Amino acid sequence: MTINCVWEHNGNDTLLYAIDFIGAYTRGESLEIAKAKMPVEICSYLKWSGEDISENMEVVIVQEKDSELAIKDADSDVLFESEKAPLTTEEYEQLKALALKSAMDFITLYESIPDKSATAAAERKTFYGQVPRSGDEMYEHTKSVNEYYFAEIEVDADNCGNIYECRKRGFEALEAKPDFLQNAVIEGSYGELWSLRKVLRRFIWHDRIHARAMYRMALKVFGAENAANPFCF
């Protein structure tokens, strides 16, 4: 299996994204470290999405973005070349289903944590503020991008209710636009380019970042018996 990837980097700091597995990613202090992590990430992703796992994987870089952002903190603004094409109805429904599944699985993980105010990491500040450390902080942070992501493609949304409910309403507002499958590329905040395909990827990617952190925290503080693992990490 060939894993086609986009490499976004700032110096040696690397974010590596698997194009054909929306939201799958690795981070590393170098490209070599991130590439070495990719087969494990793809196996995890395929278990989560219910697809067959391939034993042989080759990581191939098909696009590169030299960034000035804080890549080591998962600050990203890359738009994939593959994220500029229109969507078919079938493809959109498949990707939307994954984004909604991701939201529901995030809730499952969050609700499994006995003490949602517990933490296991020291305070740390990044480009967006203090890194969320407790279950409550991780959940609220992850949910809070809903309005922002949809607004970048000119869709009115909110962060009300749980992470699944507000994401689902956002997709309903999107679908009220007659041409949404054309996947227009739009210049959003800070000059960043967005498309519907990018929004779909960013939801799952962002969920995976904070779900992984939440799961590791739960393992450390409460043990495996109190840490649901719907993402198959």
Residues 18 and 128 in one domain: no
Domain count, the chain: 2
Pick from 44-53, 65-74, 125-134: least confident = 125-134
Question: What's the whole-model pTM score?
Answer: 0.95
Domain final residue, candidates 76, 97, 113: 76
Residues 189 and 118 in one domain: yes
Pick from 9-13, 34-38, 90-94: least confident = 9-13
The pLDDT of 92-104, averaged and rounded, is 98
Q: 44 in a domain, yes or no?
A: yes
What does the alpha-carbon distance between residue 233 and residue 231 come to, in Å, rounded to a whole number?
A: 6
